Amino acid sequence: MSNLLEIKNIVKKYGDYTALNDVSINIPKGSVYGLLGPNGAGKTSLIRIINQITMPDSGSILLDGETLASKHTADIGYLPEERGLYKSMKVGEQALYLAQLKGLSKSEAKKRLKYWFEKFDISAWWGKKIEELSKGMAQKVQFIVTVMHNPKLLIFDEPFSGFDPINAQLIAQEILKLRDEGATIIFSIHRMESVEEMCDEIALIDKSNKILDGNLNDIKREFRTNTYQVGLTTSNKKEVELALQENFSVLPPDFKLLGDELTVNVKLDKTKSANDLLSFLTTRGQVQHFVELIPSANDIFIEAVNKNS
Amino acid sequence: MSKLKLIIEREFIAKVRNKSFIVMTFLSPLIMVGMGALVYFLMKKNDEKIKTIVYVDESKLFSKDDFKDTKTIHYKDFTTDGIVATKKKVEEGNYYGALYIPKKDSLEILANSIEFYSKDSPGLSVMNSIENKIERKLRNEKLNNFGIDLEKINASRIQSDIKMFNFSGEESSKLINGLKIGVGAIAGYFLMMFVMIYGTSVMRSVIEEKTSRIIEVIVSSVKPFQLMLGKIIGNASAGLLQFIVWGILISVLGLVLTTILGVDMSEIQTANMTPEQLEATKQAASGDKMQLILQEIARLPLLKLFILFIFYFLGGYMLYSSLFAAVGAAVDNETDTQQFMLPIMLPLILGVYVGFATVISDPHGPISVAFSYIPLTSPIVMLMRVPFGVSWGELAISMSLLVITFVFMVWLAAKIYRVGILMYGKKPTYKDLYKWMKYKG
């Protein structure tokens, strides 16, 4: 898979403060890419550089193999974290204006807007001013103006903040649909559940440095600890637990089951496989629950950030 | 370029559609003309009340011819009643005032012994008018005593009008000097008003984009510099439209009102003039003189004036409004603008003060010249100087300084603007602004 965006050795300083320190990221074509990091890590700085709102002090960016230039603004759709619309401007006029700024002709913009307004069932809002709409309604309009010029690259900075759950769901679906139609998506998010749900690839930025990047599943594999959740129905819980402790390293359970089972987490070292554990268990009782503990994005995030500091 | 056009168009429409803009555009001329009409109406009403002044002339020098009735003052001879009875009548409120001219041995003594009695203090114009009548009569009396023929005196009256030339061959006269002051002052003042009104309008528009949080959406499509420039040009276009509408409306309304009210313009001007001034104006208004004025206006370097007016107007507006845009970008709300507004307003106001104080008395003096070079004041001061004839050499210095400063300031303002529009929260200090200027890209 080729890369739509290649970010190479980006450095950005604000006076004495370094916002991005030699950051390189490759974003594969057609992926949903999660840009993660604590507040103030440098995510927004990087996104602004991709959008050519600010220029890097050094480093380069290639979009679809070409050095990023001002003509590429038409290929990018950007929903900033700090977002809004002209309050006293009418919805339709405003959307047309923003579409034309993205390089669409007026007639083409009208056609596309009609499609999106009908899709979201908001055609009746065309002549209304933004200040007359509710916040959720305005967010829908905002989403439309972000995507209506069919950009190759869509960047969403905290897209779900401010959306109610129903609209957030709707927007998430639309974003995935756009990905299926060929767009590449960059998310910058805090909400880790969305990362699990949507992202194929992630990069973790902390304190101006990229500390981790790659395919989410690969990363999860890398961060797996070979720990299993075990739930066992047995008449002699104490004895079994002691036997487990002799043969394996046993941790307190991080889950609950419905019955009166023995619950533990078991961490396997390199000499033992899951099968060894399972056969040990089956001889001692009825296995109710046996699940490998896969690190969540949240766990990885916290672990990586802690390691970095 | 087409993006710039789009921005200009949006800014223009947003400004023009604004309710307060529409109200201001159409209401201001109405108010201005209405005020003028009101003042005229009140003046007329005030004058329509005829004041009757009675006089007791014991000197027997004056006749009814010396106290001719005017539109607002009527005179009545009460000499036969005596001053005591006359004073009483005035006190009872029948008449405006009583003029008492006693009998004295000499004209000099008489001149200082004449008395006027009234219930309320008389207005200045009334007293002037009476004093003029008495002075004229007494002077004529004295001339008569010297044996000088009054006819000859009147016939000997002559008016001199020195014609002034400069070495570029432009002829000037006192009259045209007045005209030049007028043209320069109006141009300078107009520029200041325009910069203040539309500069702050640019600033407000920037703040609005920040508070509505649309700014980052916009600058992901266009360069901040384009947005700033589009805003400045869009607002200026709206401003020009407003001024044009004002000009048309005021002239039309003024014309309509003067026709309806039947205002005689010469009447307004002559209402407060002494007879001597009146005479002079009448002479001036004679055909020859009128033609001379027209000739002199035609002789003003009108094309040069017009071109320079456009140049300094645009230069001054662009220079200042880019600063206003930078201020708008630096802050989050309008209350925070004050600390940055003062340094912008100061040179503007200074320009107008210096213009009115020095250019009028000495258009080519060192202070006038200096301030017409300094770029922040030059648009105003130079515009005031231009009608008096400024050499192309001086203009070249002033204009190039303005252009250099303008380019530099727009560049500087754009740097602040670019960073400022994305900054929220903290109220910036001058130190912050300096730091922003040093940020790359």
Q: Chain A, 130-169: which have a CB under 8 Å from a chain B CB?
A: 142, 145-146
pLDDT-derived band of residue A50, with 50, 70 and 90 as boundaries?
very high
Instruction: Check if CATH label 3.40.190.10 holds for domain B50-156.
Output: yes
Question: How far does the CA of residue B235 sit from the closest CA of chain A (Å)?
Answer: 16
Nearest to A87 among B212, B422, B440 (CB): B212
Work out the average pLDDT over A226-235. Answer: 89
pLDDT given at position B270: 46
Percent of chain B clearing pLDDT 70 (strictly above): 86
Percent of chain A clearing pLDDT 70 (strictly above): 100
- B interface test, pick of A43, A79, A86, A143 with most B CB neighbours within 10 Å: A86
pLDDT > 50? residue A150: yes
pLDDT > 90? residue A46: yes
Q: Residue A61 and residue A50: Cα distance in Å, rounded?
A: 8
**All structural domains of chain B with their residue ranges:** 2-31+171-438, 50-156
Which two three-digit tokens encode residue A183?
A: 């767009």
pLDDT > 70? residue B281: no
Question: How far does the CA of residue A54 sit from the closest CA of chain B (Å)?
Answer: 5
Work out the average pLDDT over B174-195. Answer: 79
B424/A80 CB distance under 8 A: no
Name the residue among B159, B161, B154 with its Cα closest to residue B139.
B154
Instruction: Give the pLDDT confidence of B205-236 residue by residue, as tens digits.
Output: 999 898 888 998 999 999 888 899 999 999 98
How many CB pairs (< 8 A) connect A and B?
77
Nearest to B14 among A85, A89, A101 (CB): A89
* CATH architecture for residues A3-221: 3-Layer(aba) Sandwich (3.40)
pLDDT given at position A60: 92
Name the residue among B290, B304, B55, B268 with its Cα closest to residue B175.
B290
At CA B8, angle to CA B6 and CA B11, rounded to 5? 105
Which of B278 and A237 is assigned the larger pLDDT? A237
pLDDT given at position B269: 46
**Which residues does chain B have within 8 Å of residue A73's beta carbon, measured at their own beta carbons?**
220-222
Q: What spatial distance separates the first Cα and last Cα of chain A, rounded to whole Å? A: 34
Q: Does B103 touch chain A (CB under 8 A)?
A: no
* Pairing assessment for the beta strands A227-233 and A286-292 based on DSSP bridges: antiparallel
Q: How many CB atoms lie within 10 A of CB A256?
A: 8
> Which residues is A10 bridged to in the sheet?
A23
pLDDT-derived band of residue B387, with 50, 70 and 90 as boundaries?
confident
pLDDT > 50? residue A34: yes
- Kindly report which listed range (B23-27, B47-51, B386-390) carries the lowest average pLDDT score: B47-51
- A interface test, pick of B2, B10, B11, B217 with most A CB neighbours within 10 Å: B217
Work out the average pLDDT over B9-21. Answer: 90
Instruction: Give the pLDDT confidence of B301-325 residue by residue, as tens digits.
Output: 778 888 888 888 888 888 999 999 9
Q: Does A14 touch chain B (CB under 8 A)?
A: yes
B6/A84 CB distance under 8 A: no
Is there a contact between A4 and A27 (Cβ–Cβ < 8 Å)? yes
Question: How far does the CA of residue B213 sit from the closest CA of chain A (Å)?
Answer: 5
pLDDT given at position B166: 62
**Which residues does chain B have within 8 Å of residue A85's beta carbon, measured at their own beta carbons?**
212, 214, 217
Which two three-digit tokens encode residue A257?
A: 């089951």
B441/A54 CB distance under 8 A: yes
Which two three-digit tokens encode residue A233?
A: 């129905």
Work out the average pLDDT over A145-149. Answer: 92
- CA of A262: how far to CAs of A10, A49, A226, A229, B387, in Å? 52, 54, 20, 11, 102
pLDDT > 80? residue B178: no
Is there a contact between B398 and B372 (Cβ–Cβ < 8 Å)? yes
Q: Does B360 touch chain A (CB under 8 A)?
A: no
For chain A, what is the mean pLDDT?
88
Nearest to B214 among A13, A70, A86 (CB): A86
Work out the average pLDDT over A266-286. Answer: 88
pLDDT given at position B44: 76
Best mean pLDDT range from A123-127, A189-193, B176-180: A123-127
pLDDT-derived band of residue A109, with 50, 70 and 90 as boundaries?
very high
A70/B422 CB distance under 8 A: no
pLDDT > 70? residue B146: yes
For A245, residues 6+ apart whose C-beta sits below 8 A from its C-beta are: none
pLDDT given at position B262: 65
pLDDT given at position A40: 82
Question: How far does the CA of residue B25 sit from the closest CA of chain A (Å)?
Answer: 20
Q: Does A47 touch chain B (CB under 8 A)?
A: no
Q: Does B438 touch chain A (CB under 8 A)?
A: yes
For chain B, what is the mean pLDDT?
81
Q: How many CB atoms lie within 10 A of CB B168?
A: 9
Q: Does A309 touch chain B (CB under 8 A)?
A: no
Closest residue of chain B to A99, computed from CA coordinates: B221
Q: Does A35 touch chain B (CB under 8 A)?
A: no
What's the distance, CA A289 to chain centroid?
A: 30
Q: Does A3 touch chain B (CB under 8 A)?
A: no
Work out the average pLDDT over B244-259. Answer: 84
Nearest to B441 among A51, A55, A86 (CB): A55
A145/B223 CB distance under 8 A: no
**Which residues does chain A have within 8 Å of residue B418's beta carbon, measured at their own beta carbons?**
54
Task: Indicate yes or no: pTM above 0.80.
Answer: no
Q: Give residue for tokens 């100061």.
A: B346
Is there a contact between A36 and A48 (Cβ–Cβ < 8 Å)? no
Nearest to A53 among B6, B214, B219 (CB): B219
Q: Residue B198 and residue A19: Cα distance in Å, rounded?
A: 37
Which of B153 and B200 is assigned the larger pLDDT? B200
B14/A82 CB distance under 8 A: no
Instruction: Give the pLDDT confidence of B339-376 residue by residue, as tens digits.
Output: 888 888 899 889 888 888 888 788 888 888 888 898 88
B221/A73 CB distance under 8 A: yes
A70/B223 CB distance under 8 A: yes
**All structural domains of chain A with their residue ranges:** 3-221, 225-293
- Kindly report which listed range (A89-103, A152-166, B199-213) carries the lowest average pLDDT score: A152-166
Q: What is the 3-state secondary structure (H, E, C) of chain A?
A: CCEEEEEEEEEEEECCEEEEEEEEEEEECCCEEEEECCCCCCHHHHHHHHCCCCCCCEEEEEECCEECCHHHHHHEEEECCCCCCCCCCEHHHHHHHHHHHCCCCHHHHHHHHHHHHHHCCCHHHCCCEHHHCCHHHHHHHHHHHHHCCCCCEEEEECCCCCCCHHHHHHHHHHHHHHHHCCCEEEEEECCHHHHHHHCCEEEEEECCEEEEEEEHHHHHHHHCCCEEEEEEECCCHHHHHHHHHHHCEEECCCCCCCCCCEEEEEECCCCCCHHHHHHHHHCCCEEEEEEECCCCHHHHHHHHHHHHC
Is there a contact between B364 and B388 (Cβ–Cβ < 8 Å)? yes
Amino acid at residue number B157:
R
Closest residue of chain A to B8, computed from CA coordinates: A97
pLDDT-derived band of residue B38, with 50, 70 and 90 as boundaries?
confident
Q: Does A69 touch chain B (CB under 8 A)?
A: no
Q: Residue B177 and residue B388: Cα distance in Å, rounded?
A: 8
pLDDT given at position B439: 75
- B interface test, pick of A50, A71, A82, A101 with most B CB neighbours within 10 Å: A101
- Kindly report which listed range (A47-56, A70-79, B188-197) carries the lowest average pLDDT score: B188-197
* Pairing assessment for the beta strands A227-233 and A262-267 based on DSSP bridges: antiparallel
**Which residues does chain A have within 8 Å of residue B213's beta carbon, measured at their own beta carbons?**
80, 82-84
pLDDT given at position A32: 92
pLDDT given at position B420: 86
Do the two domains A3-221 and A225-293 of this chain adopt the same fold?
Answer: no
Report the complex ipTM. Answer: 0.81
CATH class held by domain A225-293: alpha beta
- B interface test, pick of A82, A87, A156 with most B CB neighbours within 10 Å: A82
- Kindly report which listed range (A7-21, B3-17, B141-155, B273-287) carries the lowest average pLDDT score: B273-287
pLDDT > 70? residue A56: yes
Question: How far does the CA of residue B435 sit from the closest CA of chain A (Å)?
Answer: 7
Side-chain-facing half-sphere of B265: CA atoms under 13 Å: 6
* Pairing assessment for the beta strands A262-267 and A249-251 based on DSSP bridges: antiparallel
pLDDT-derived band of residue A47, with 50, 70 and 90 as boundaries?
very high
- CA of A4: how far to CAs of A80, A198, A199, B80, in Å? 20, 18, 16, 115
pLDDT given at position B268: 46
Nearest to B10 among A80, A97, A146 (CB): A97
Closest residue of chain A to B212, computed from CA coordinates: A84
Which two three-digit tokens encode residue B103?
A: 């009998």
